[in-house]
């Protein structure tokens, strides 16, 4: 877990919890997704999924999600979701999201998403300005795709 | 709208929005409820609905909700929900919640809730320590119920 | 409550419930809204909000919601939501939604919505084919707006 | 995919969809979880997660979830979720959930859950009556755990 990871803090609400008095399993992916949306907003100067889709004809739908639940999430402490891009391909990328409360990991998730046009959902290369920002903040992502890597140029 | 109102800031997410590109109507009550839960947490030194229910055998279910929708909520700006208790009876109270973006009101809601025991949902008087904190921060609530008012004592 | 009301049956899930072991207050408006969406689908031969918006450039956003909660909703029985249009104006209409379990009313809600174009959310008259279907199934709605009423023609 | 799989039909609502006009990624796990809850209700004569937890001191929390998204889910057709238990251990089991619309798979998910007591979330063996019902309907599950298998007795 590098230092560059974006951390998003979220209140856990009574309504997020189920009768077992823990955040409902079905809410956990939503927490992680909100954190990824907030990650983009932070990286791209306020451009979140909504603005990408509405203003830039760009969408980044998910093709894969994996989550391991290690400890229940509760409203007794805030939830911190660390978001870190761990792979960057030509048109896809992978995020790791780690949710923690009181410095203990509650869940770890991996999400794979693909860049597409909003108009017809056709796959496209990662837009160069987005790739540049990702590689600048997360140098480990550079050169993962030979034809696309731009860090050393 | 007094100065004492509690204001809760919330990110609006892509997933909160529907195909009309605005926050889905069904999400708006959840925003307002989360704000009320955060209000209690702020007023009662961290005691939110979850802790009331789990640690103190106390619940405050709703019996009535009214909302007027004035302007769509979108992810283009944060949502600020101002929560103000506007009536305090023997065992019930009324909240006004105003949701705003860019200083323009998007919705105004009223919620009526009743204090009950968590064990059997039987109605109880507002617990004195909670009444005291409410009346201290919101003096207009004092003496609304003659037998219960304690501000001038 | 007339016989003509549309009734929508819905499973109540573990995830709909909060730590108090009842459906979370914030979920109840979603139940009622889903029932109204299903009402349209039934009345308009499969045309729900999604198809209206996407295929017909039509939207029917809400301007007002009122709910009275009478009894908790639980996963112990299915929820039946009766949807009945009770007022039809030139460009707006009002729904009453009654949610019941085991033949006992759990909540009663009123929703006011307005017909608009999907393109710019400008108010429009109720589209004649929709008015005709509404008045045909719910004769009490006829002539509520003198200039629009068409039942006796 | 055996014939024994339980299929749960669900309406997809306008409110399930995001601005990209497809069911929001964060909603898909909820669809799958609701289907598993409905699976139990069907297998155990009405005993769903709520009744297990509330009446039988039993809970089956998830430790792992994997989903592959193959095609967007939309409100244009009902969603059919086929639920099939594919592995049964001493205290854990694995479900495969396949979501389809118009006979085309939209997502495939795997969920691993563990049987625990509701009181302290301590791991327990699969309760014998539940194991018996699972093995009876899904013979492929028999003898997956040598000490627990009961089919041939």
Place of tokens 């009324």: B94
Place of tokens 């809850």: D37
CB atoms A48 and B15 under 8 Å: no
Backbone φ/ψ region at D77: left (φ over 0), alpha (ψ -120 to 50), beta: beta
Per-residue model confidence as pLDDT tens digits over D4-58: 689 999 999 999 999 999 999 999 999 999 999 999 999 999 999 999 999 999 9
- Encode chain B in three state secondary structure: CCCCCEEEEECCCHHHECCCCCECHHHHHHHHHHHHHHHHHHHCCCCCHHHHHHHHCEECCEEEEEEEECCCCCCCCCEEEEEEEEEECCCEEEEEEEEEECCEEEEEEEEEEECEECCCCCECCCCHHHHHHHHHHCHHHCCCCCCCCCCCC
Q: How far apart are CA A143 and CA A87, in angstroms?
A: 10
Q: What is the pLDDT of residue C5?
A: 80
What is the torsional sign of CA C3, C8, C11, C12?
negative
Of A133 and D144, which is predicted with more confidence?
Answer: A133
Q: Closest approach of chain D CAs to the CA of B26, in angstroms?
A: 7
Q: Closest approach of chain B CAs to the CA of D13, in angstroms?
A: 10
- By C-alpha distance, which of D30, B119, C15 is closest to A20? C15
Q: Looking at chain A from residue 27 to 66, which residues have their Cβ under 8 Å from any Cβ of chain C?
A: 27
CA nearest C108 in B: which residue?
A: B64
Q: Does D69 touch chain A (CB under 8 A)?
A: yes
- DSSP string of chain C, one letter each residue: --TT-EEEEE---GGGB-TTSSB-GGGHHHHHHHHHHHHHHHHTTT--HHHHHHHH-EE--EEEEEEEE-S---TTS-EEEEEEEEEE-SSEEEEEEEEEETTEEEEEEEEEEE-EETTT--B-PPPHHHHHHHHHH-GGGTTSSTTT--TT-
CA nearest C30 in B: which residue?
A: B26
Q: Is residue A147 part of a domain?
A: no
Residue A59 in this model has a pLDDT that exceeds 90:
yes
Across residues B19-46, what is the average pLDDT?
A: 97
pLDDT tens, N- to C-terminus, chain C (153 residues): 445 689 999 999 999 999 999 999 999 999 999 999 999 999 999 999 999 999 999 999 999 999 999 999 999 999 999 999 999 999 999 999 999 999 999 999 999 999 999 988 999 999 999 999 999 999 999 977 654 445 544
Q: Closest approach of chain A CAs to the CA of B61, in angstroms?
A: 12
Beta bridge partners of D8: D81
Q: Is residue D153 part of a domain?
A: no
Q: Is residue B153 part of a domain?
A: no
Residue B53 in this model has a pLDDT that exceeds 90:
yes
Q: What is the pLDDT of residue C92?
A: 98
Q: What DSSP state is assigned to residue A71? A: S
Q: Closest approach of chain D CAs to the CA of B137, in angstroms?
A: 38
Q: Is residue B148 part of a domain?
A: no
Mean of the per-residue pLDDT values of chain B? 93
Calculate ∠ Cα C126-B74-A36, nearest 5°. Answer: 135
B39 Cβ contact partners less than 8 Å away, ≥ 6 residues apart: B6, B8, B83, B95
Q: Does C77 touch chain B (CB under 8 A)?
A: no
Across residues A82-93, what is the average pLDDT?
A: 97
Report CA dihedral (D5, D9, D14, D20) to the nearest 10 degrees: 30
Across residues D100-123, what is the average pLDDT?
A: 96
Q: How far apart are CA B36 and CA B123, in angstroms?
A: 20
Report CA dihedral (C4, C8, C9, C10) to the nearest 10 degrees: -160
pLDDT interval class at D61 (50, 70, 90): very high
Q: What is the pLDDT of residue B144?
A: 72
Q: Is residue C149 part of a domain?
A: no
Per-residue model confidence as pLDDT tens digits over A94-126: 999 999 999 999 999 999 999 999 988 999 999
Q: Does C22 touch chain D (CB under 8 A)?
A: no
Largest CA-CA distance found in chain A, in angstroms, rounded: 55
Smallest Cβ distance to C37: which of D14, D51, D74?
D14
CB atoms D15 and B25 under 8 Å: yes
CB atoms B68 and C64 under 8 Å: yes
CA nearest C112 in B: which residue?
A: B68
Smallest Cβ distance to B14: which of D14, D15, D18?
D18
Q: Is residue B150 part of a domain?
A: no
| B58-59 vs B116-117, strand pairing mode | antiparallel
Residue D148 in this model has a pLDDT that exceeds 70:
no
Q: What are phi and psi of A104, to 5 degrees?
A: -115, 130
CB atoms D15 and C38 under 8 Å: no
Q: How far apart are CA C34 and CA D34, in angstroms?
A: 16
A105 Cβ contact partners less than 8 Å away, ≥ 6 residues apart: A70, A71, A98, A99
Q: Closest approach of chain A CAs to the CA of D85, in angstroms?
A: 18
Q: Does A24 touch chain B (CB under 8 A)?
A: no
Smallest Cβ distance to B63: which of C64, C68, C121?
C68
Chains with 3 or more CB pairs under 8 A to chain A: B, C, D
Smallest Cβ distance to D15: which of B14, B21, B26?
B26
Residue D73 contacts residue D79 (beta carbons within 8 Å):
yes
Q: Which two tokens stand for residue D58?
A: 């039993």
Q: Does C26 touch chain A (CB under 8 A)?
A: yes
CB atoms D14 and B18 under 8 Å: yes
What is the torsional sign of CA C130, C136, C140, C146?
positive
Place of tokens 């004569």: D45
Per-residue model confidence as pLDDT tens digits over B98-108: 999 999 999 99
Instruction: Identify the CATH number of the domain in which residue A128 sits.
Output: 3.10.129.10
Q: What DSSP state is assigned to residue D87? A: E
Mean of the per-residue pLDDT values of chain A? 93
What is the torsional sign of CA D88, D89, D93, D97?
negative
Q: Is residue A151 part of a domain?
A: no
CA nearest D18 in A: which residue?
A: A50
Mean of the per-residue pLDDT values of chain D? 93
- By C-alpha distance, which of A140, A81, A145, A85 is closest to A113? A85
Q: Looking at chain A from residue 84 to 143, which residues have their Cβ under 8 Å from any Cβ of chain C?
A: none
Calculate ∠ Cα A77-A81-A85, nearest 5°. Answer: 170
Q: How many domains does chain C have?
A: 1
Rg of the Cα atoms in chain A: 16
Residues from chain A that touch C17, judged by Cβ atoms under 8 A, are: 18-19
A112 Cβ contact partners less than 8 Å away, ≥ 6 residues apart: A62, A63, A64, A65, A92, A93, A94
Residue A80 in this model has a pLDDT that exceeds 90:
yes
Q: How far apart are CA D75 and CA C55, in angstroms?
A: 12
Q: How far apart are CA A32 and CA A97, in angstroms?
A: 6
Largest CA-CA distance found in chain D, in angstroms, rounded: 55
Q: How far apart are CA A137 and CA A151, in angstroms?
A: 11
Q: Is residue B149 part of a domain?
A: no
CA nearest A51 in D: which residue?
A: D19
Residues from chain A that touch D63, judged by Cβ atoms under 8 A, are: 68-69
Q: Closest approach of chain D CAs to the CA of A115, in angstroms?
A: 13
Residue B146 in this model has a pLDDT that exceeds 60:
no
Residues from chain C that touch D75, judged by Cβ atoms under 8 A, are: 48-51
Residue C13 contacts residue C90 (beta carbons within 8 Å):
no
Residues from chain D that touch B23, judged by Cβ atoms under 8 A, are: none
CA nearest B23 in C: which residue?
A: C61
Q: How far apart are CA A92 and CA A114, in angstroms?
A: 4
Q: Closest approach of chain A CAs to the CA of B25, in angstroms?
A: 17
CA nearest B31 in C: which residue?
A: C26
Per-residue model confidence as pLDDT tens digits over A4-58: 689 999 999 999 999 999 999 999 999 999 999 999 999 999 999 999 999 999 9
Residue C61 contacts residue B69 (beta carbons within 8 Å):
yes
**Based on the number of CB atoms within 10 Å of its own CB, is B50 exposed (0-12), middle (13-18) or buried (19 or more)?**
buried
Which domain, by its residues, includes B48? 6-141
């Amino acid at each position: 877990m590098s230092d560059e990871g974006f951390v998003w803090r979220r209140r856990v609400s009574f309504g997020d919890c189920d009768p077992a008095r823990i955040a409902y399993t079905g809410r956990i992916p939503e927490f992680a997704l909100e954190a990824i949306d907030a990650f983009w907003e932070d990286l791209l100067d306020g451009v979140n999924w909504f603005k990408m889709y509405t203003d830039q004809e760009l969408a980044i739908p998910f093709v894969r999600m994996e989550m391991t639940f290690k400890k229940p999430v509760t409203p007794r402490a805030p939830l911190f979701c660390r978001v870190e891009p761990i792979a960057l391909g030509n048109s896809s990328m992978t995020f790791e999201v780690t949710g923690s409360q009181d410095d203990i990991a509650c869940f770890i998730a991996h999400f794979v998403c693909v860049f597409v046009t909003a108009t017809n959902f056709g796959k496209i290369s990662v837009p160069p300005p987005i790739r540049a920002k990702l590689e600048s903040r997360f140098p480990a992502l550079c050169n993962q795709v030979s034809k696309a890597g731009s860090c050393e140029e």
